[in-house]
Chain A
Amino acid sequence: MENRHIEAIVGQLHHQLGVDVTNAVDVFDCIRRLEVYLHFRPLKNLMGAYLNPDGRTPGILINSKHPLQLQRYTAAHELGHFWLNHEPTTDAVIGVSSDDAGFTQMGQEERDAELFAALFLMPSELVAHCATKIGIDPHGHNQVSNEEVLMLSLLLGTSYKATTNRIRSLGLIDADYRAMLQKRQPQDIKKAVGGFKPEGLVDHKITWNHVVVMDARSHSSSVLLEPDQVVQICLDTRATSGHIWECASAPEGVQIHWSTQRLAAPDVIGAGVRNVFTIVGMRPEVFILRFIERRPWQPERIRNEYLVRIQVQHARRGIDIGQLVC
């Protein structure tokens, strides 16, 4: 199937489902609305599967042990198999192709499902919208940094790798630049932005997969969060002028921990500092947080503002009862 044909199919499906292309696409909700059973189970090697044993009762199985972004991509891939009328299939490897040659070597249906998933989760309008929001020039070429790709992936709800592949297909970067971006691991980028593993805040061992790192570029954006993840918002300020960042509104249901990092060696005079807010969502809910930068003795003079909408997801397991009681 030609790429532009799949693009048209995805566009029609977005239109049919009334998908909002200014926020991360809720692929799980889309699957349920298409009356495809969506089942989250802890699997071993499988990422997911599309089944349809009687030809009229389709179902998608997702490995619940995987990170949210990977589950979303797998779900979109399996939705592609369903919507493109492919044979039922299991998928042990999805989205592994990090270069154009690897993509070409896939079977036709796999390629089509991969393309469907990328277009479904990252339609060009959404990528352009999110890129503009974080200051990436949507018409620039090879001008996006690792940190910007990481922020973009957060807003899109996709993995760092899938995001680099998509901006490559949109022509924002070339193949060599993508290879350069993919050489750097997301955890190293998170550290560079100011993230760290906040041990002791949650009752499980924190890995980098549990840490979502954002900075000022993601102002006024929305992020999906797993129940066991924490968000770190890293906001730089000029401490020598007396400015600090503080949380202006802390809704019930979130824990906020504050820390500060110097941005230069201790003997450098006038260096800025980074205020890091580590946020733990205590229950599945949407939280809107507002941070302001000001001098404590001039509370009415706000220098900067940072807003974020954090949507803490329900733990996904089994089949949503809404699908079963229909």
Chain B
Amino acid sequence: MSVYKTIEDKVVETLTAITVEGSPLLATAKGYTQRDRKALMSAIGRELLPAAYVMMTGRENGDKAVRRPGLPTLSVLLAAKSLRNEDDARTGSDDVTGMFTLSEEVIQALQDLVVDSDRLLLLIDDQPVGSSDGMVIWEHRYELRRQTGSYTPLFRGSSLIGSDSVVRVELGDLQREVSAFSFPGIEGVFERHMGARERPIFWRGQLRAASDTALNTIEENIEDEVRLGISDNMWDPWARTHRYCVLRTFRRKGPRLRDELTGEALQDFELEFAQLAF
């Protein structure tokens, strides 16, 4: 099966499975071909509403220098309609699930959805794209980012940053300690090396917690680790064990924020470990 097909099926399946108070949220959810906006609006208007079209939109621009393809993207076109008036189609009523609720529920379902085992669906933006005759149409655009590493990084047997946080692990430079010398006027150098020295390992990402209080707790735990300076094992997302690591620096990157949709407390961060030996 093609990648696009796999993605489309998974998204359609997820949308179909969304329920509100025991009933399916969407009357129609299916894959559709991307085409011009007018044709799409006409087509989705003929569906049983509320409806969702899942449309693969190809890949974005990748790394031009080495000609690597970009991330796959897809659009989800949502349509809600009220026969009474357009306001009900937008905000909802007893009879109609409004576009606002529809959009939020879809985002809730699709954001961070794991597709094809290692692709993560991430919302790029959502916006209204048109309305007519009591029908409101919104478009969500998503990208699919492959996840690298399958495991939650751990230090001293603990995730350290909580279960909701997003982190990527980057191994720093590993280099030999070298003392070089040369003879004046003679080409070339000689070096004596003293073995590898410490290597930095970075955890970069975003701390996430359900509330500020929960995030406070996570941050305090991290700071305690910095103060203790205990050297221990670290496991990275690729199941590698790094021995003799010690947490050296906890950097907050920018101010603490709240997630617009979920209300989670957010803090971009960087943890710098030093791997003291190997």
Q: Do A and B bind each other?
A: no
| Residues of A participating in the B interface, judged by any CB pair closer than 8 Å | none
| Residues of B participating in the A interface, judged by any CB pair closer than 8 Å | none
